[in-house]
């Protein structure tokens, strides 16, 4: 299976990163997309992506960090796209987007960096990994202004409703679902049925949001099968079908080997 959104490079895994990755492959993991969130974390993301052909990288600045990371820092980070030793391992721009829920950074700074990420995706042809929390209207507006018909990607950890999902589809975006779908089945099941399996990819967003009943524990990529099992239950289909379809969606979006 493919975890399309993980942060195994972060300090939460400093004590047992190798063991976590071993469990990923032992659980049936096929590929892991390690998502960069700031310049400081890039060296470890880069090291991981170069260390194992099953690990791929993204390149970007999380909206939470946009208050301390400026346009010049982003340009320096994007310079990795010109590095032949790592550029073939970079499969997306992001994590980028807007978060008005936590409010860790001024909204204008978040929007400015998001615009710049969308422009980078448009120029490179790479998909976007987008974080949207309590900010879907502005996220969708900027995607239309900067990239409609010219960028694609995924709204990760999707927290919108059917209307947002339809607008994302019209913009060419998939939706990422992780452990949070196990917290409120009464909401998650109808939403997933409305969206359809062909529009989603699976993720953990580890170390955050482990699936029930391990919600309070550290999450990790080996939990993807638990998420797939929940999706299968909600849709009334076999887990193998969930794996086959969502893996295919991820492979097509990120250009991963088949």
How open is the CA angle 161-167-172, to the nearest 5 degrees? 125
**DSSP for residue 126:** P
Ramachandran class of 153: left when φ > 0, alpha when ψ lies in -120 to 50, beta otherwise: left
Structural domains of the chain ordered from first start? 2-254 (3.20.20.140)
The residue that leads in pLDDT, 9 or 70, is 9
**What's the pLDDT at 207?**
98
- Interval 120-160: pLDDT, tens: 999 999 999 999 999 999 999 999 998 778 999 999 999 99
- Interval 193-251: pLDDT, tens: 999 999 999 999 999 999 999 999 999 999 999 999 999 999 999 999 999 999 999 99
Buried b (16+ CB within 10 A) or exposed e, 57-75: bbbbbbbbbbeebeeebbe
> Strands (DSSP E) along the chain, which ranges?
2-6, 31-34, 55-59, 90-99, 128-133, 153-156, 173-177, 200-202
Q: At what angle do helices 136-147 and 162-170 cross, to 10 degrees?
A: 10
pLDDT, mean of residues 187-198: 96
Instruction: Decide the pairing of beta strands 128-133 and 90-99.
Output: parallel
In this predicted structure, the answer to whether residue 36 has a pLDDT above a threshold of 90 is yes
**What's the pLDDT at 102?**
87
Q: Which residues contact 26 (CB under 8 A, 6 or more apart)?
A: 222
pLDDT, mean of residues 31-53: 98
**What's the pLDDT at 148?**
79
- The per-residue pLDDT of the chain, averaged, comes to 97
Q: Write out the two tokens for 221.
A: 């990529």
> Strands (DSSP E) along 21-172, which ranges?
31-34, 55-59, 90-99, 128-133, 153-156
**What's the pLDDT at 93?**
98
Of the pLDDT bands very low, low, confident and very high (cuts 50, 70, 90), residue 113 is very high
Q: What is the pTM of this model?
A: 0.97
């Amino acid at each position: 299976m493919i975890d399309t959104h993980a942060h195994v490079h972060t300090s939460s895994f400093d004590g047992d990163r190798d063991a976590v990755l071993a469990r990923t492959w032992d659980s049936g993991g096929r590929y892991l997309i390690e998502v960069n969130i700031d310049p400081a974390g890039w060296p470890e993301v880069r090291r991981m992506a170069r260390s194992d052909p099953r690990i791929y990288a993204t390149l970007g600045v999380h909206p939470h960090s946009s208050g301390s990371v400026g346009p010049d820092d982003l340009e320096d980070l994007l310079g990795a796209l010109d590095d032949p030793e790592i550029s073939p391992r970079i499969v997306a721009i992001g994590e980028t987007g807007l978060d008005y829920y936590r409010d860790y950074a001024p909204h204008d700074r978040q929007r400015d960096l998001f615009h710049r990420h969308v422009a980078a995706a448009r120029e490179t042809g790479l998909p976007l990994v987008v974080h949207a929390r309590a900010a879907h209207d502005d996220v969708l507006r900027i995607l239309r202004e900067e990239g409609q018909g010219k960028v694609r990607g995924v709204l990760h950890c999707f927290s919108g409703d059917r209307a947002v999902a339809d607008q994302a589809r019209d913009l060419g975006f998939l939706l990422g679902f992780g452990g949070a779908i196990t917290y409120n089945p009464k909401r998650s099941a109808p939403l997933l049925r409305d969206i359809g399996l062909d529009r989603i990819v699976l993720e953990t967003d580890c170390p955050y949001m482990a699936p029930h009943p391990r919600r309070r524990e550290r999450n990790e990529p080996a939990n993807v099968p638990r998420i797939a099992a929940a999706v299968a239950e909600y849709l009334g289909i076999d887990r193998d079908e969930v794996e086959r379809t969502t893996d295919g969606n991820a492979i097509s979006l990120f250009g991963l080997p088949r």
